[in-house]
Amino acid sequence: MRKVAVVTGGVSGIGKAICQELIARHIFVIIADIQEHEGRILEAELNKDAVHAKFVPLNVTDYKNVASVIHDVFEEFHRIDYLFNNAGIAMYGEMGEMTIEDWKEIMAINLWGVIYGTQIGYPLMKKQGFGHIVNTSSAAGLGPSPFSTAYATTKHAVIGLTTSLHYEAEEFGIKVSTLCPTFVDTPIFDNAKAIHMDKSIITKQLKQQKMISPQRIAKMAIEGVHQNKPIICPMPMRKTLDVVFTIFPFLHKALMRMVCKVSRNARLT
């Protein structure tokens, strides 16, 4: 029987690339996203030669919507092999200039969206006795990220949730991994919310970094899933973070202070 995957935030960026990679591996994909028009276009594109995917509208901040989508998939296919809780947004700004509404917005998508998907999908996987949950975090969840404090907070939380559940779920035949992308060439930078900051300056600075293509990170993700890694992160970045944090803390402090300086230059007066 063909395996089935649900991918939230599946219409663009990493989510879209994951959908394409899964289909290349003969896995049927449920593209779940709030962008309905773009989702229908992608569904048609992926089903050009044969039926490989199905689009369903999904707002990950709506618990009932998430529950309905995941339960409908389970009822239709009688299985969910992979659940990629991938939907997310970015947000820049000094914490002192953020509002509680800003916090609620990013927490609702980046953290509660992951919690909802995991909380709903996990019991179904326990029932079937197998499955793999993959929650998208970020390299920003592995260390500090000044001027992206709210974003980093959500991503640290996703890593804590996922790595803890990784071991808790073993007894039930369920695997759990977190994907920690670094600088990936996706629309997330352009779509990010900038609070009292010139986003064009930040985006320009970010895009000077060596970008990884969504297709490459998707391949890394699926390979890491097959190896049942608790944390899936491009190895050079993971090693660099470990070395900088542990062996050269002075370099880490200098880097973080430079990030603060560059970010403050992007502040709107």
The mean per-residue pLDDT over the stretch 9-32 comes to 97
Catalytic residues: 151
The mean per-residue pLDDT over the stretch 16-34 comes to 98
Q: What is the pLDDT of residue 195?
A: 85
The mean per-residue pLDDT over the stretch 246-255 comes to 62
153: helix, strand or coil: helix
Domain count, the chain: 1
d(CA 41, CA 249): 48
Q: Within 135-248, where are the H helices?
A: 149-168, 188-191, 199-206, 214-226, 235-246
> What is the pLDDT confidence band of residue 250, given thresholds at 50, 70 and 90?
low
For the question of whether the overall pTM of this predicted structure is more than 0.75, the answer is yes
The CATH number that applies at residue 139 is 3.40.50.720
Q: Give the Å distances, CA to CA, from 176 to 160, 162, 163, 266.
A: 12, 6, 7, 38
For residue 258, the enclosing domain spans 4-265
Q: pLDDT tens for residues 168-211? A: 999 999 999 999 998 788 888 778 888 887 777 777 776 676 78
